[in-house]
Amino acid sequence: MSIDRTLKSRTALVRHRNVLTRVERIELLAEDGLWEEDRDSVFGLPKVAHRKSTAGKKVKKVKTEAAVGTAAAQTEVETTAKAAAK
């Protein structure tokens, strides 16, 4: 029995699938150079890892040399002020 088309999710084909079809596994193996059409059989293919890709995380801003120099100068001024206050 099939599902009515009004009940199907529109993103059903877009979502991540854990199991690859034989054709998809052969394509991945061929890209890695682990499968050759004339040499290998389509039966008994090795397992192929299929991981869901995620969006990259935001990279923290790294202090530039000018900012580091300014920070160092600021701490030097603070230590000089503390020494003068004693």
Given a cut of 80, whether residue 35 has pLDDT beyond it is: yes
Place of tokens 């991540």: 16
| Mean pLDDT value of segment 43-57 | 79
55: Cβ contacts below 8 Å, ≥ 6 apart: none
Given a cut of 70, whether residue 42 has pLDDT beyond it is: yes
Counting residues of the chain whose pLDDT is more than 70, the rounded percentage is 70
Q: Distances in Å between the alpha carbon of 25 and those of 22, 36, 37?
A: 5, 12, 13
pTM above 0.75, yes or no: no
